[in-house]
A and B are shown apart, each in its own frame.
Chain A
């Protein structure tokens, strides 16, 4: 009986341990990106490399230039931060961490004017791209990636 009980406990522990993933502090990269078509495109920034093909297919531009960025390590999942360029600012307000990612409130400002607001559940495995306004011959994109 005691051996059976020990076996049960061992299996239970294995089951729970196998299904549980260890958590830890993670970094969110948020960037303001200008997508445009140029004759001599620059290299894609490292943060965007893994989605370069998708960005090119989706938006039809050959260059992605970062005009403002921020890298924030989340410890409590309640932090907020700003990624800003000369005219734009992306305010990110983290409102909690879930098993798969972070709940974020995003606000895009043009100077002091709120252009766009969204609430999102940012997955640790899935980047978020927001198509912003047309800027000259290009396009403003907001990109968030859990690194």
Chain B
């Protein structure tokens, strides 16, 4: 079921016919006013169709040429920003330079860390690898004349705690 507005639009466009046209025109309250309005709408449509047509390019070749030149110019600028000069000479050395810098920096950091760690691990030099005697004592009552000394035999890395004057014992004490 068409609404009045749909029937009105169809009537203005001349798309109603037969019984539908007769019924619609009979339903109009003021047919002459409606006719006048339809004529005005048609005139307006004709005017719009005539005036709103896209202007045709008078020089298509020139426009295309301008467009291509602009694209080329913009591309050249972009290439310049990312090393067009080196590329034009045949080889872009910058990635290699960056890798060399990164490699050198990494080696330097590695050496610094290695020196730092090794220095910390071995603060006392070679003595760290030899047994150290921190202190020693003998009972002064049992062995009043005892003396203690210590030294290291570097060839076999043997550390010796040397006592003198301890109470001598009979051979029986050598038993297992």
Contacts and interface: CB of A to CB of B under 8 A. Distances in A.
Interface of A: 3-4, 7-8, 10-12, 14-16, 18-19, 34, 36, 50-51, 53-54, 58, 65, 67-68, 85-88, 99-101, 103, 110, 113-123, 125-138, 140, 144
B92 to A, nearest CB: 17
B52 interface: no
A133 B169 contact: yes
B64 interface: no
Given A128-B158, A129-B158, A140-B169, 10 more contacts: A10-B106, A11-B109, A12-B113, A19-B117, A115-B142, A116-B166, A118-B133, A119-B134, A132-B166, A134-B166
Interface stretch (B55-63, B67-75, B149-157): B149-157
Contacts of B160: 58, 128-131
A127 B158 CA distance: 5
Interface range on chain B (Cβ under 8 Å from partner): 35 or more
Contacts of B173: 86-88, 110, 135-136, 140
Contact of A117 (B132, B136, B170): B136
Interface in B4-54: none
B114 A121 contact: no
B143 to A, nearest CB: 7
Contacts of A15: 110, 113-114, 117
A133 B132 CA distance: 21
B96 interface: no
B142 A113 contact: yes
A97 B171 CA distance: 37
Contact of B175 (A67, A132, A138): A67
A67 B171 CA distance: 13
Contacts of B130: 123, 125-126
A11 B130 CA distance: 31
A7 B102 contact: yes
A116 B156 contact: no
B131 A120 contact: yes
B97 interface: no
B3 interface: no
